[in-house]
């Protein structure tokens, strides 16, 4: 296949065909940047990704139009904007006026405590996942705030919005007890980027013990039934070590033994489907959103496997 070196049956070659067949322009360009040499020392690959991302940007500085597939409609949302920041971070463009505009948007939609709601009420009237309810006065949410704050800190972005948002995240992480896997992942994203490394390491150590004590990670993929699915999650929506520690440098990597991580990565590699893409494990509520989500999940899977030195093609 044009673009991919090596065997046409390699995980990467199979994923490439899947992406060209099914992905949005943004994911096609992200795939080319990360895996087909479009980003090797050239700005053109970055510019191509950013141009595709710009199509989702709204006048208020946020992002909408289904960038995060589970939320539809032409209105900015914190989850869309967090997705945009992850894309910019992945191509080394999380800086300058583009991020200043995003921070102004984050300030405008923050709750009284300075955090981001999971959903802004402007989404009302547009289709969205039923497991993400829209309310008039939503509270601040670690799920939406933690990854954004951690990413901005990691990129050494300084903005007034970050001060109160960082305090909110610290308080939320310190209070975590009755939690669930996605909230833990958001906490890890915060802790991996926040400047106070000693405090982050201490908080991660406590959180790792909590994950193991509560059985929030399936440590033996051959026995997933040993760990119950969290209430409200889709059937079989288990979380594994690689979901928490997506790169070896994550604080969450220390929660798991080498053997546990190898089994988890083996499971991830084995989940590639015959069509070349990886499956969406969360609850599917509309055919189109599931189709748009799979290329995103596929790129994430390949990036994680590559980060851990797994051969992908």
State pLDDT tens for residues 197-217. 999 999 999 999 999 999 999
- Domain end marker among 164, 188, 206: 164
Arithmetic mean of pLDDT, 50-66: 97
Specify whether 226 is located in the same domain as 285.
yes
Half-sphere exposure of 58 (CA within 13 A, CB side): 20
Query: How high does pLDDT run on average in the chain?
Result: 95
Contact 147, 189 (CB under 8 A): yes
Instruction: Answer with the residue of higher pLDDT: 224 or 193.
Output: 193
Per-residue confidence (pLDDT) for residue 8, from 0 to 100: 85
d(CA 310, CA 262): 10
Percent of the chain topping pLDDT 70: 96
Q: What is the pLDDT of residue 43?
A: 85
Q: Say if residue 68 is in the same domain as residue 49.
A: no
| pTM score above 0.75 | yes
Q: Mark whether 307 and 182 lie in a shared domain.
A: yes
With a cut of 90, say whether residue 16 has pLDDT above it: yes
Gap between the Cα atoms of 255 and 257, Å rounded: 7
Taking only the tens place, the pLDDT of each residue in 219-277 is: 999 988 888 888 889 988 999 999 999 999 999 999 999 999 999 999 999 999 999 99
The answer to whether residue 9 sits within a structural domain is: no
CA gap 161, 168 in Å, rounded? 11
Mean pLDDT for 171-183 is 96
Q: Is the pLDDT reported for residue 4 higher than 70?
A: no
Q: How far is CA 252 from CA 39, 76, 212, 262, in A?
A: 28, 31, 12, 14
* Domain tally, the chain: 3
| Each residue's pLDDT tens digit, 103-155 | 999 999 999 999 999 999 999 999 999 989 999 999 999 999 999 999 999 99
pLDDT in the model for residue 255: 98
Reduced to 3 states, what is the DSSP secondary structure of residue 57?
Answer: strand
Q: How confident is the model at residue 41 (pLDDT cuts 50, 70, 90)?
A: low
Note whether 169 and 191 are within 8 A (CB): no
Question: Residue 52's pLDDT band (boundaries 50, 70, 90)?
Answer: very high
**Do residues 83 and 143 both lie within one domain?**
yes
Q: Assess if residue 170 is contained within a domain.
A: no
Q: Domain boundary residue among 55, 72, 103?
A: 55
Q: Please check whether residue 125 lies inside any domain of the structure.
A: yes
Place of tokens 């989404």: 123
Residue 230's pLDDT is 86
Residues 191 and 302 placed together within one structural domain of the fold: yes
In terms of domains, do 233 and 300 share one? yes
Q: Report DSSP letters for 202-268, one per residue.
A: HHHHHHHHHHHHHT-S-S-TT-GGGSPPPTTSPTT----HHHH-SSTTSGGGGGS-HHHHHHHHHHH
Residue-number span of the structural domain to which 147 is assigned: 58-164
Residue 8 covered by a domain: no
């Amino acid at each position: 296949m044009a673009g991919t070196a090596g065997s046409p049956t390699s995980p990467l070659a199979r994923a490439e065909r899947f992406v060209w067949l099914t992905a949005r322009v943004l994911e096609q360009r992200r795939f080319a940047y990360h895996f087909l040499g479009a980003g090797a020392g050239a700005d053109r690959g970055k510019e191509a990704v950013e141009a595709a991302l710009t199509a989702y940007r709204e006048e208020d500085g946020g992002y909408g139009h289904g960038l995060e597939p589970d939320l539809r409609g032409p209105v900015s949302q914190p989850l869309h904007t967090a997705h945009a920041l992850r894309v910019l971070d992945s191509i080394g463009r999380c800086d300058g006026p583009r991020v200043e505009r995003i921070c102004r948007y984050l300030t405008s939609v923050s709750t009284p405590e300075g955090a981001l709601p999971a959903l802004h009420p402007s989404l009302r009237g547009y289709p969205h996942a039923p497991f993400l309810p829209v309310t008039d006065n939503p509270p601040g949410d670690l799920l939406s705030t933690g990854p954004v704050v951690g990413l901005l800190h990691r990129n050494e972005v300084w903005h007034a919005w970050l001060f109160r948002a960082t305090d909110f995240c610290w308080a939320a992480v310190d209070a975590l007890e009755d939690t669930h896997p996605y909230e833990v992942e958001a906490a890890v994203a915060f802790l991996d980027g926040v400047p106070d490394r000693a405090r982050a390491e201490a908080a991660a150590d406590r959180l790792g013990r909590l994950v193991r004590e509560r059985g929030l990670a399936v440590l033996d993929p051959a026995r997933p039934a040993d760990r119950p699915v969290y209430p409200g999650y889709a059937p079989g929506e288990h979380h594994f070590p690689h979901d928490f520690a997506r790169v070896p440098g994550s604080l969450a990597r220390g929660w798991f033994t080498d053997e546990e991580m190898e089994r988890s990565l083996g499971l991830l590699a084995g989940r590639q489907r015959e069509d070349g893409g990886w499956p969406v494990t969360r609850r599917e509520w509309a055919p189109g959103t599931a189709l748009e989500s799979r290329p995103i999940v596929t790129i994430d899977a390949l990036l994680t496997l590559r980060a851990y030195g797994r051969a992908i093609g």
